Structure 1
Amino acid sequence: MAGVRMYPEALPRVDDLVVAHVTRIDEGEGIYVTLPEYGGVEAMILASEATRTRKGKRTALSKLTRVGKQEVCSVLRIDAARGYVDLSKTRVSSEEVAEVEGRYQRSKAVHSIVCHAAAALGLEPALVYSLTAWRLSEQLECHAFDAFCAAAAEPGRIFDEQRTPGLSPPLRSTLLRLIRKRLGPSAASKVRAHIEVRCLGRGGVTAIRAALSKGLEVAGDASAVELKLVAPPLHVLTCSSGTAGAGIALLNRVIAAAKAEMKKHPGGELAVKDAPAAMDEKDADKGRASLLAQLEANEAATASMAVGGSEEAGSLGDTVVINSGSGGAT
Structure 2
Amino acid sequence: MVQLECRMYENTYPEPEDVVMVQVKDIQEMGAYVQLLEYNNIHGMIMLSELSRRRIRSVNKLLRVGRQEVCLVVRVDKEKGYIDLSKRRVTPEDLQRMEEKWNKSRAVHSIMRHVAETVEVDLEDLYQRWGWPLYRRFGHAYDGFRQILVDPSISNDLEITEKEKEELMKNIQRKLTPTVMRFRADIEVYCFRFEGIDAVKEALLLGESEGTDESPVKVKLVKPPLYVVTTNCLDKTQGIDILQRAVEKIKTKILEKNGKFTMKEEPRAISDRDDRLLSRLMDELEERNREVSGDEESEEEIIIEEEVEEE
TM-score (norm 2): 0.59
Q: Identify which of 279, 290, 300 aligns with 2:232.
A: 279
* Residues 14-163 of structure 1 aligned to structure 2 (within 5 Å): 14-26=16-28, 28-53=29-54, 57-138=55-136, 140-156=137-153, 158-161=154-157
Distance 1:275 1:86, change over 3 A: closer
User: Alpha-carbon deviations, 1:80-105, whole Å to 9, x = none?
Assistant: 22211110111111111111121111
TM-score (norm 1): 0.56
**Per-residue deviation at 1:146?**
0.5
Q: Which residue of 2 aligns with 1:222?
A: none
Measure the CA separation in 2 of the matches of 1:102 and 1:192: 15
Measure the CA separation in 1 of the matches of 2:80 and 2:4: 20
**Is the 1:152–1:185 contact (alpha carbons within 8 Å) kept by the matching residues of 2?**
no
Give the residue type in structure 2 aligned to 1:25. I
Q: Secondary structure at the match of 1:279?
A: strand
Measure the CA separation in 2 of the matches of 1:82 and 1:280: 47
**Is the 1:3–1:40 contact (alpha carbons within 8 Å) kept by the matching residues of 2?**
no
Measure the CA separation in 2 of the matches of 1:89 and 1:31: 11
**Is the 1:5–1:38 contact (alpha carbons within 8 Å) kept by the matching residues of 2?**
yes
Q: Which runs of 4+ in 1 moved over 6 A?
A: 190-193, 273-276
**Is the 1:153–1:184 contact (alpha carbons within 8 Å) kept by the matching residues of 2?**
no
Measure the CA separation in 1 of the matches of 2:183 and 2:31: 45
Distance 1:92 1:275, change over 3 A: closer
* Residues 226-265 of structure 1 aligned to structure 2 (within 5 Å): none
Measure the CA separation in 2 of the matches of 1:285 and 1:61: 40
How large is the Cα RMSD of the aligned pairs?
A: 3.3
Give the residue type in structure 1 aligned to 2:26. R
**Is the 1:192–1:279 contact (alpha carbons within 8 Å) kept by the matching residues of 2?**
yes
**Per-residue deviation at 1:285?**
9.3
**Per-residue deviation at 1:178?**
0.4
Measure the CA separation in 1 of the matches of 2:13 and 2:49: 23
**Is the 2:20–2:71 contact (alpha carbons within 8 Å) kept by the matching residues of 1?**
yes
Q: List runs of 5+ in structure 2 lacking aligned partners.
A: 185-213, 240-311
**Is the 1:191–1:276 contact (alpha carbons within 8 Å) kept by the matching residues of 2?**
no
Distance 1:52 1:120, change over 3 A: same
Give the residue type in structure 1 aligned to 2:163. P
**Per-residue deviation at 1:283?**
5.0
**Is the 2:21–2:37 contact (alpha carbons within 8 Å) kept by the matching residues of 1?**
yes
Q: Secondary structure at the match of 2:80?
A: coil
**Per-residue deviation at 1:61?**
0.9
**Per-residue deviation at 1:5?**
0.5
Q: Which moved more, 1:122-131 or 1:74-83?
A: 74-83
**Per-residue deviation at 1:123?**
0.6
Measure the CA separation in 2 of the matches of 1:130 and 1:192: 37
Measure the CA separation in 2 of the matches of 1:277 and 1:94: 23
Distance 1:84 1:275, change over 3 A: closer
Q: Which residue of 2 aligns with 1:216?
A: none
**Per-residue deviation at 1:116?**
0.3
**Is the 1:22–1:69 contact (alpha carbons within 8 Å) kept by the matching residues of 2?**
yes
